[in-house]
Amino acid sequence: YQHSTPPPPVKYMLDYTLNKFTRWLRILGIDAVLETIEEEHERTHGGDIAMFVRCKKERRTLITSSYKLLLRRECPPGAYLLDSKSNSDLLEKTLPTLLRTHGLELSPRTFLTRCVVCNGHINRVVEDEEKWCVFVDHGAPDLVGRQDMEVFRCDGCGQGYWWDDRPSSSASRVFAQATKLLKMCLRGGVGLKDERNPDAQKRKETMGAFDFVDVEKERQSGDATSKKTPQELAVIEWLTEKKLSNPFHLRSVYAAQRGDNARGDLPFTNVTKEFVGCLDYVYFEHEQFDQTCKLKVPTSFREMNPSGDGQGHLIPSDIWPSDHIAVGARLRLKQQTKADGKNEREVSKANASTERTTDTKKAKASNDLDRPEAHPDKCACGCLPKILSLHEMAVLRKKYRERKKAEAAEAAK
């Protein structure tokens, strides 16, 4: 499968209890929005959950510390659960796992470009008058007039930032925190953009102000747990591949009878107000199996709603009792044409001998070319007994009721 467009950048939405974790993500230059205290109060007092709406509208991934939120029907898919009661060390170890799970690659040159207060973008202040306003607004008028001072301001909340070399300054502390998070992510196996680029200058540009960090040394100093790729991340790593493949020659049961190798996807197997699409598939290896029949499924809304009722095509309904349309097929394992220690002629003789020993009823059925060969409920060929669909069972029940009704009316006469 070839991706038609590159995946969008990952954006996060975190609940109010994960304030510290949100600040870490913003320090790393990642778009992370925090639930407001008003939204948290409304959520915990039985009101609407604004986080769900924002995740769907802004296409954000939810990170929460509430297990009950994950059980809500409206919870967006892909939500990530964290333990807010964990200490800082455990949260720090969780950060690399989260980034690797979502396939994020860090770009150190973009660190400290998002406001830790509101998630806005931090821009450089050039005009002296604007610099003066930043210093005055933040209670530092003594810095006015310093020409060598680099000043920045958030385009969202207006928070001002400037660099200070003193170790006790907030700028030095946040830079040290960013360095710590970077080293921790490197030890945890998080990738860097352009890390494999043969151009050394390009790699240095990607590191930005953090080019003093020895990437290889930090990679090697990671503990055994961080170096080892968890098995549960294997699927996520597959999804980051641009093209996926498998060693099987698979064919859809809904394309096999047309004699092609098309995917044969149905137009839909799930029909609701918010979604219409195919979610259910049945594939088989046609070199190993023969398809004898398949379950008939509707391919248009007209078939879903023969009476023409308003929104009668939505499921579940009285005709289609499940929220998914049942798909299925009956497959028969192909018999081998060769056997160990026998040539093809011996195999043919053995097959002919086997056919002569079949019972009369089975032979008679096999002579009828218009019907498939009848099989008992439990036979040795591996086929499945006929299993009625819910719709077929409903039709039989309806016919049974009509027959009983007709017999009762006939008896009344």
- Can you give the pLDDT at residue 36? 93
* End-to-end Cα spacing for the chain: 67
- Can you give the pLDDT at residue 364? 44
- Can you give the pLDDT at residue 367? 43
DSSP H helical segments within 110-233, as ranges? 128-137, 170-187, 200-207, 215-220, 224-227
Element (H, E) at 331: strand 329-333
DSSP H helical segments within 2-127, as ranges? 19-27, 37-44, 50-58, 67-70, 88-101
- Strand, coil or helix: what is 342? strand
> Taking the model in full, what pTM does it have?
0.60
Measured CA to CA, the distance from residue 317 to residue 323 in angstroms comes to: 8
- Can you give the pLDDT at residue 2? 39
Residues 92-138 pLDDT 10s: 888 998 998 888 999 999 999 999 999 999 999 988 888 888 888 88
Measured CA to CA, the distance from residue 154 to residue 121 in angstroms comes to: 6
**Which of 55, 47, 51 is CA-nearest to residue 66?**
51
Residues 354-363 pLDDT 10s: 555 444 444 4
Neighbours of 31 (CB within 10 A): 16
pLDDT tens for the 413 residues of the chain, in order: 333 455 678 999 999 999 999 999 999 999 999 999 999 999 988 888 999 999 999 999 999 999 899 999 899 988 999 876 666 678 888 899 899 888 899 999 999 999 999 999 999 998 888 888 888 888 876 776 666 778 899 999 999 998 888 888 889 999 999 999 999 999 988 999 888 888 888 888 889 999 999 999 998 887 544 544 555 566 666 666 677 778 888 888 888 544 444 566 789 999 988 889 899 999 999 889 999 989 988 989 988 888 888 888 898 888 888 889 999 999 999 886 544 444 555 545 545 555 554 444 444 444 443 444 555 555 555 555 567 778 888 888 899 999 999 999 998 87
Asked if 330 and 302 touch (Cβ cutoff 8 Å), the reply is no
Dihedral Cα 212, 217, 222, 227, nearest 10 deg? 120
